[in-house]
Chain A
């Protein structure tokens, strides 16, 4: 990759990243349950993605590629937090008030937390990240057919979990 191509790619990177940041923040917040940590994870992912621009293959869906990086950054933040054992009650995120009759995002996040790892991942990426099936396939490194069946089963599992919690 020539130096000129790299600079152009960096410019495109910012342009492509900007519209995804709000959903990325929501996704990170659903995993980390803390707004400050979520913002840190998104910032780390933005920088890590910039460092990894070279291996990025143009035809791959950018959002799916970048959310895989964000997911790893969230895992890193969780590991750091567990190692430091710094999660106190003060760090707990305060859920924004939802409209009457609808669950707040923390209740949804808690219901998702009770599911299997496969179902957790795909539901968070779909609902909080807003990823399409093609992007989900890229992030999770699975075929689109598997995305379709896994997402359906995950929804069923979430419905059962929500029913239990009367979400």
Chain B
């Protein structure tokens, strides 16, 4: 067995050694009363300090901006394509090129807006500025 380095006592206390090495450290502790006393002192101080450090904790108020990046979603793109095809192949519905232009614009604006909203609202917790 490799000799136990003093820093490994700390790592053992912190549960940071692999299983094989932790067993070796346990064996060394069992065989060496001075090492056991050192470990006990370290353990007691560590518990004390961790408890003290916990007293500094509090729940901070943190806000993040919503992830409202524009993304073309498949339903949104499909809806835009259907609207464009309908206007292209059913001119009788429109009547004049001016109306066709206007309807194109309105359809694109509405459908694009719907796409953006769909992305921004995807995670339920997403708000304009979401609190963590």
Which A residues contact B (CB, under 8 angstroms)?
A: 3-4, 6-7, 10-11, 13-14, 17-18, 21-27, 29-30, 35, 38-39, 42-43, 46-47, 50, 95-99, 102-105, 107-109, 127-128, 132-133, 148-149, 151-153, 155, 158-159, 162
Contacts and interface: CB of A to CB of B under 8 A. Distances in A.
A24 B132 CA distance: 13
Contact of A29 (B8, B58, B130): B58
B62 A103 contact: no
Given A39-B60, A127-B49, A151 B10 contact: yes
Contacts of A162: 45
B52 A107 contact: yes
B49 to A, nearest CB: 5
A11 B52 contact: no
A38 B45 contact: no
B61 to A, nearest CB: 7
Interface of B: 6-11, 14, 16, 41-42, 45-46, 48-65, 67, 69-71, 119, 123, 125-126, 130, 132
User: B interface, by DSSP: helix, strand, loop or mixed?
Assistant: mixed
A44 to B, nearest CB: 10
B69 to A, nearest CB: 5
Contacts of A99: 51
A14 B52 CA distance: 28
Contact of B55 (A42, A47, A104, A132): A104
B132 A102 contact: no
Kindly name the residue among B60, B61, B67, B126 whose own CB sees the greatest number of chain A CB atoms within 10 A: B60
